Amino acid sequence: MTSQLPTVRLRPKANARAIRHGFPWVFADELVTDRRTRAIAPGAFALLEDEERRPLGVVTVNPNSKIIGRMMDQNPEAEIDGTWLRAKIARALALRERLYDQPFYRLVHAEADGLPGTIIDRFGDVAVIQPNAAWADRMIADLAEALREVTGVSTVIMNGQGRVRGLEGLDERTEILSGQIAGPVEVPMNGATYLADVIGGQKTGLFYDQRPNHAFAQRLAKGARVLDVFSHVGGFGLAMLAGGARKATCVDGSAAALALAGQGAERMGMADRFTARQGDAFAVLEALAEEGAEFDVVICDPPAFAPSKPALEAGLRAYERVARLAAPLVAPGGYLGLCSCSHAVDLAAFRNSSARGIGRGGRRMQLLHSGQAGPDHPTLPQLAETGYLKALFFRLDG
């Protein structure tokens, strides 16, 4: 295949050693971008060479992206076709089948599973693909076919929404590639029942990454009054109801997401212990304080306040504000869980921001537990972005 591919070459100052050791990206300022390179169609494949013309492997090239090259295979003879895709998906499936008793999980976690920029979440017989890189968008039909062959799912949905596709120069669209979908999909997780809107919901319809953090929160929930802020379809709230919470209040800006949370509580037989409150999370936190509300466990799982480095400082201030507003709502001796899914915020910065906010909220704290995404979201040690999720659980006094 090598002779059939165009060749792209690293600049002399680019770190070829990092790529040889597993770093999967080539940035635009690291590649020689002559007329031939700029003429490569977004999502096409090329042979990557170092400055001395030694092959590093097959990359997918997108001249429209700051990440101009993504490593597909370190074997320069690799052919990226249906056979190659089936092997990657089969390897990912083998891990998930070892980890989980039921087919509800993140099946492919992008670079960490060897499919750059590609997310696949599985909901039983339904799978949702997020092709966030140009190559995956071009090969979406091949991806869907390989997915069906390897896993046996019948319904495959392409969810082409979100900020990342814009950075790749891709349009937004959602499409049912095979099978049919009648409505939200029921998902069992940690003893709770969730409803995932895989067509019109946020991302793929459910956030599997918080599964282990939901489980930790359950250990704090028995007999507790629970507040789940930025709850989406009831992530922490329903998990803690399943763990024995006396009452769960879910707060979110989306009426549709809260409706699904309520339906999940109904299917669990716990509708009488569930309350929804729609509105801006910051405004609701302030209103609850004015009402004198008090909870034994408060969880705040906001969207990414710092999705990129330029947004870092503003994002850290937002996380501090969440902690400051949430801390006074926690009963003495109660628990506060704070989460961040921001790529640009590392654990130390998030911990410091959270602690400042709790202190400004007039509370003393113990840090009990630091959580991350579950093992169906493996990380590449060379790529910090694959380990984006952070969850901190505090016990508050004072």
Q: What is the pLDDT of residue 1?
A: 47
Helix/strand/coil (H/E/C) assignment for every residue in 171-212: CCEEEEEECCCCCCEEEEECCEEEEECCCCCCCCCCCHHHHH
pLDDT tens profile 21-59:
999 999 999 999 999 999 999 999 999 999 999 999 999
Give pLDDT, residue 386.
84
Instruction: Please give the share of the chain, as a percent, with pLDDT higher than 70.
Output: 99
The DSSP secondary structure of 234-286, one letter per residue, reads THHHHHHHHTT-SEEEEEES-HHHHHHHHHHHHHTT-GGGEEEEES-HHHHHH
Cβ neighbors of 273 (< 8 A, separation 6 or more) are 241, 245, 246, 247, 248, 265
Q: Is 4 helix (H, G, I), strand (E, B) or coil?
A: helix
366 CA to centre of own chain = 27
Q: How far apart are CA 102 and CA 88, in angstroms?
A: 20
Assigned token pair, 230:
């930025």
pLDDT for residue 196 is more than 50:
yes
pLDDT on residue 202 = 86
Beta bridge partners of 338: 300, 392
Active-site residue, 300 included: no
| Residue 337, beta-bridge partner list | 299, 393
| Active-site hit among 250, 300, 339, 341 | 341
Q: What is the mean pLDDT of residues 63-90?
A: 97
Whole-angstrom Cα distance, residue 219 to residue 209? 18
pLDDT of res. 203? 87
Q: Over 50: is that where the pLDDT of 363 sits? A: yes
**Average pLDDT for 252-259:** 97
pLDDT at 3: 60
Task: Give the pLDDT of residue 4.
Answer: 87
- pLDDT single digits (tens) 99-132: 999 999 999 999 999 999 999 999 999 999 999 9
Q: Which residue has the tokens 């169609």?
A: 41
Closest CA to 327 of 289, 290, 291, 301: 289
For 191: left if phi > 0, alpha if psi spans -120 to 50, otherwise beta; the answer is: left
Distance (Å) of CA 293 to CA 258, 331, 382: 20, 9, 44
Q: Is 269 left (phi over 0), alpha (psi -120 to 50) or beta?
A: left
- Give 311-346 pLDDT, tens digit per residue: 999 999 999 999 999 999 999 999 999 999 999 999
Which residues lie across from 273 on neighbouring strands?
none
292-319: average pLDDT: 96
Q: What is the pLDDT of residues 124-171, one digit of tens each?
A: 999 999 999 999 999 999 999 999 999 999 999 999 988 889 989 999
Domains of the chain with bracketed CATH:
2-73 (2.30.130.10), 82-178 (3.30.750.80), 187-397 (3.40.50.150)
pTM of the prediction?
Answer: 0.95
Q: Decide: 236 and 230 in contact? Cβ < 8 Å.
A: no
Angstrom distances, CA of residue 285 to CA of 121, 321, 372: 32, 10, 25
Q: What is the largest CA-CA distance in the chain?
A: 71
pLDDT, mean of residues 206-213: 97
Phi/psi for 260 (5° steps) reads -65, -35
Mean pLDDT of the chain: 96
Secondary structure of 287-334 in the HEC alphabet? HHHHCCCCEEEEEECCCCCCCCHHHHHHHHHHHHHHHHHHHHHEEEEE
